[in-house]
Amino acid sequence: MTTTEAEKVDVLICGSGSAGLCAAVWLARFGVNYRILERRDGPLKTGQADGVQTRTVEIFDSFGIAEELLREAYHVLEVAFWAPDPRDPGEIARTRYAADKETAISHQPHVILNQARLNALMTGLLGPEPPVEYGCEVREVRVDDGAAAEDPDAYAVTVTAVKDGVERTYRAKYVLGCDGAHSTVRRSLGFKMVGDSSDAVWGVMDVYPRTDFPDIRKKCVINSAAGSILVVPREGDALVRLYTELPAGTRVADVSLEGLQAHARRVFGGRYPLDFAETAWWSAYSIGQRLADRFHRAHRVFLTGDACHTHSPKAGQGMNVSLQDGHNVGWKLGMVLRRLARPDVLLPTYVLERERTAADLIDFDRAFARLFDSRYRRENHVSPRDVADHFVRAGRYTAGQAVRYDPSVITAATPSSSSSSSSVASGLTVGMAFRSAQVVRFCDAKAMQLVKGMPANGQWYLVVFAGDLARPESAARLREVTRSLERIAYRFTPPGADPDSVIDRILVLASDRKTVEQDEIPAFFTPVTGKRGMKCLTKVFADEESYNSGHGHAYEAYGVHPERGALVVVRPDHYVSKIASLDEADSLEQFFEGFMIPQRT
Ligand SMILES: Cc1cc2nc3c(=O)[nH]c(=O)nc-3n(C[C@H](O)[C@H](O)[C@H](O)COP(=O)(O)OP(=O)(O)OC[C@H]3O[C@@H](n4cnc5c(N)ncnc54)[C@H](O)[C@@H]3O)c2cc1C
């Protein structure tokens, strides 16, 4: 085989699925030199996963691509539960409806859109010529442990791939194994998947159904005497996905479209005849609940997504958790390669945070899977009502909003003083996603979600709840806090860079906006930025009634008392990193020193 000379790249992403593309979006934003190798001939065209958790919608929103997603997607608002009709157990009857999501879980909805389209939206953020090498198959990954330990800048990982029959060699500082359930990267490093030995086989069909079943445009959990089906309406008002767990012992190779359709007809029963006008896509795939025994090698190669965790699709987690792995590691590599953070401290947090998330997912999935197992339900006297209750209770988890990272150098859970810092913002939890609330922008009276003012460009956010500036104590305290924050942000920002490019700032007032003048707001919150050197006016907000969109009650939602105020440090991925009282502003310097590299004295 012909070979080419080794090419050097800072980050090599193996696989352009959900995890790889999401990591790539960050790397593109940080201006890092990266490349994606993808075995397929071109972008994913159709099929695979489709459920988009509220947390994933929030991520898309932070990247600026949620509008397309929300416009195109099916919005899941209600779930219908169906079970054998007690009067005629061969037929099904609706047992109840439930809201798909409690309002407090997220300001974003749970939606359905095919994975190919989600991938395309992320690819669209990679620039006019995304650096994806299609038709390029990774064959081997080797790490030079000595070089990796000695020199942080070493191209310590060698990847061999084949494209058009020609062998290519890449030398990279970091490699992401985003190459799915049958990961070559994982195998090449000798890591193993540990867990269930038997894989359940799932059938999935995207169909245009002809039926009188009344809930065909709603998400439904159907547990009938003939088996279980999950109905998931799709984008475009006509297409519907049907998920079926096939009987134990079924082999993927034996599954046929006709068989899946016949099974679906049996589950819907005689009362609701089901016909298929067209089948847009179908697949059968086997999934075991498994976890990789290692997630990294020398903190130079990291596994993400299906390459390190697989489980059933029942709770719609696979694509989301995978994408969120890429989301977690991407900004960390970006900071390290821009020399803003220490690799030895920041990169291990990927493993700490996502290994635990994956292990929790496997446990969750095991319990959730039983609800769909008719034999388990029968033997353990699980009633249709129990199934529905469990489904509703699991709502926060399935929305992706239950993830809570353990204390670490970037999630400082322990209050730094006796003032019990976390209670100054009791609506937030360190290690969990920063929730949003509606506020009114100071400069133009626009009612908006606070997170809209915190785009994901790689910077950290200091969110200052300063209270009411009409109170002289609050105004004086804000001036004092600002002096500390200004010094800290300056210290970690490279000379010549915009002052808000590493540590950004957001001010939320509990004041009557119309009584506050711009010159009462410290200049720290209106930094001069961008190529035109203009004052940025979009970082100051008030918690008040808007003209046309009601009141967001943000202080109440965040659990902040206007007279006490609070200081919240939010990571680039919008997880809460630290909560402090306003008199603890100085302590943030030590916190950032824990993982960032000071750029100036
Ligand atoms: C056929 C199928 C159907 C599925 N259906 C559903 C579903 O209905 N619902 C659901 O929730 N989940 C479903 N899943 C699972 C879901 O798609 C995954 O959990 C999710 O895509 C994981 O994202 P990922 O980025 O880790 O991996 P993937 O999205 O699998 O991406 C991995 C990428 O790596 C590429 N790749 C693999 N090996 C190499 C190599 N050696 N060199 C270069 N590139 C390589 C692949 O071509 C692929 O593009 C399905 C998965 C499959 C495979």
334-388 pLDDT tens trace = 999 999 999 999 999 999 999 999 999 988 888 877 776 767 777 888 887 777 7
Gap between the Cα atoms of 315 and 317, Å rounded: 6
Predicted pLDDT of residue 259: 94
pLDDT digits (tens, 9 = 90+) for 41-72: 999 998 678 899 999 999 999 999 999 999 99
User: What distance in angstroms lies between residue 241's CA and the mean position of ligand 1's atoms?
Assistant: 18
User: Which ligand 1 atom lies nearest to the CA of residue 304?
Assistant: 26
Confidence of residue 418 (pLDDT cuts 50, 70, 90): very low
Pocket mutation for ligand 1, best pick of 246, 319, 361 (most atoms within 8 Å of C-beta): 319
User: What distance in angstroms lies between residue 323's CA and the mean position of ligand 1's atoms?
Assistant: 11
Q: Whose CA is nearest to atom 9 of ligand 1?
A: 49
Question: Among residues 38, 49, 105, which one has the least CA distance to residue 322?
Answer: 49
Task: Decide: residue 381, CB within 10 A, 0-12 exposed, 13-18 middle, 19+ buried.
Answer: exposed
Pocket mutation for ligand 1, best pick of 306, 325, 357, 365 (most atoms within 8 Å of C-beta): 306
User: What distance in angstroms lies between residue 544's CA and the mean position of ligand 1's atoms?
Assistant: 45
Q: What's the whole-number mean pLDDT along residues 477-485?
A: 97
User: What distance in angstroms lies between residue 43's CA and the mean position of ligand 1's atoms?
Assistant: 12
Backbone conformation region of residue 345, classed left if phi is above 0, alpha if psi is from -120 to 50, else beta? alpha
User: What distance in angstroms lies between residue 337's CA and the mean position of ligand 1's atoms?
Assistant: 28
User: What distance in angstroms lies between residue 135's CA and the mean position of ligand 1's atoms?
Assistant: 16
Confidence of residue 391 (pLDDT cuts 50, 70, 90): confident
User: Which ligand 1 atom lies nearest to the CA of residue 21?
Assistant: 25
Question: Among residues 369, 363, 241, which one has the least CA distance to residue 313?
Answer: 369
The partner residues of 110 in beta bridges, in order of sequence, read: 76
Gap between the Cα atoms of 149 and 136, Å rounded: 29
Q: Percent of the chain having pLDDT more than 90?
A: 81
Q: Where are the beta strands (DSSP E) in 61-195?
A: 74-76, 78-85, 88-99, 110-112, 132-134, 136-143, 157-163, 166-177, 193-195
Confidence of residue 419 (pLDDT cuts 50, 70, 90): very low
Backbone conformation region of residue 452, classed left if phi is above 0, alpha if psi is from -120 to 50, else beta? alpha
User: What distance in angstroms lies between residue 200's CA and the mean position of ligand 1's atoms?
Assistant: 17
Sheet hosting strand 309-310, strand order edge to edge? 193-195, 290-292, 309-310
Domains of the chain: 7-71+113-194+289-370 (3.50.50.60), 74-111+199-286+373-402 (3.30.9.10), 432-594 (3.40.30.20)
Confidence of residue 227 (pLDDT cuts 50, 70, 90): confident
Q: Whose CA is nearest to atom 53 of ligand 1?
A: 48
Output the CA angle 28-497-172, nearest 5 degrees: 35
Gap between the Cα atoms of 454 and 16, Å rounded: 27
Q: Whose CA is nearest to atom 31 of ligand 1?
A: 17
User: Which ligand 1 atom lies nearest to the CA of residue 119?
Assistant: 29
Q: What's the whole-number mean pLDDT along residues 131-160?
A: 97
User: What distance in angstroms lies between residue 16's CA and the mean position of ligand 1's atoms?
Assistant: 9
Output the CA angle 72-21-115, nearest 5 degrees: 35
H helical segments located in 269-371:
318-337, 343-346, 348-370
Confidence of residue 206 (pLDDT cuts 50, 70, 90): very high
User: Which ligand 1 atom lies nearest to the CA of residue 15?
Assistant: 34
Q: Whose CA is nearest to atom 26 of ligand 1?
A: 305
User: What distance in angstroms lies between residue 117's CA and the mean position of ligand 1's atoms?
Assistant: 14
Q: Whose CA is nearest to atom 2 of ligand 1?
A: 48
User: What distance in angstroms lies between residue 588's CA and the mean position of ligand 1's atoms?
Assistant: 40
Cβ atoms of residues 377 and 84 within 8 Å: no
Confidence of residue 7 (pLDDT cuts 50, 70, 90): very high
User: What distance in angstroms lies between residue 49's CA and the mean position of ligand 1's atoms?
Assistant: 9
User: Which ligand 1 atom lies nearest to the CA of residue 317?
Assistant: 11
pLDDT digits (tens, 9 = 90+) for 512-546: 999 999 999 999 999 999 999 999 999 999 999 99
Gap between the Cα atoms of 471 and 206, Å rounded: 60
User: What distance in angstroms lies between residue 31's CA and the mean position of ligand 1's atoms?
Assistant: 26
For residue 424, give the DSSP letter. Answer: G
Confidence of residue 197 (pLDDT cuts 50, 70, 90): low
pLDDT digits (tens, 9 = 90+) for 424-442: 999 999 999 999 999 999 9
User: Is the pLDDT score of 317 beyond 50?
Assistant: yes
Look over the chain and give the mean of its residue pLDDT values, rounded to a whole number: 93
Pocket mutation for ligand 1, best pick of 41, 53, 179 (most atoms within 8 Å of C-beta): 179
Pocket mutation for ligand 1, best pick of 48, 232, 312 (most atoms within 8 Å of C-beta): 48
Q: Whose CA is nearest to atom 5 of ligand 1?
A: 48
DSSP 505-554: EEEEE-S-GGG--GGGS-GGGS-EETTTTEEP-TTEEE-SB-SSS-B--H
User: Which ligand 1 atom lies nearest to the CA of residue 179?
Assistant: 34
pLDDT digits (tens, 9 = 90+) for 14-36: 999 999 999 999 999 999 999 99
Residue 145 is encoded by which pair of tokens?
A: 């442990």
User: What distance in angstroms lies between residue 19's CA and the mean position of ligand 1's atoms?
Assistant: 9
Confidence of residue 126 (pLDDT cuts 50, 70, 90): very high
Cβ atoms of residues 445 and 547 within 8 Å: yes
Gap between the Cα atoms of 154 and 173, Å rounded: 6
Q: Which residues line ligand 1 (CB under 6 A)?
A: 14-20, 37-40, 48-49, 51, 115, 137-138, 178-180, 184, 204, 283, 285, 305-307, 313, 316, 318-319, 322
User: Is the pLDDT score of 211 beyond 50?
Assistant: yes
User: What distance in angstroms lies between residue 180's CA and the mean position of ligand 1's atoms?
Assistant: 5
Q: What's the whole-number mean pLDDT along residues 286-312?
A: 93
Q: What's the whole-number mean pLDDT along residues 185-213?
A: 90
Residue 370 is encoded by which pair of tokens?
A: 């039983």
User: What distance in angstroms lies between residue 262's CA and the mean position of ligand 1's atoms?
Assistant: 27
Confidence of residue 417 (pLDDT cuts 50, 70, 90): very low
For residue 396, give the DSSP letter. Answer: H
Q: Whose CA is nearest to atom 3 of ligand 1?
A: 48
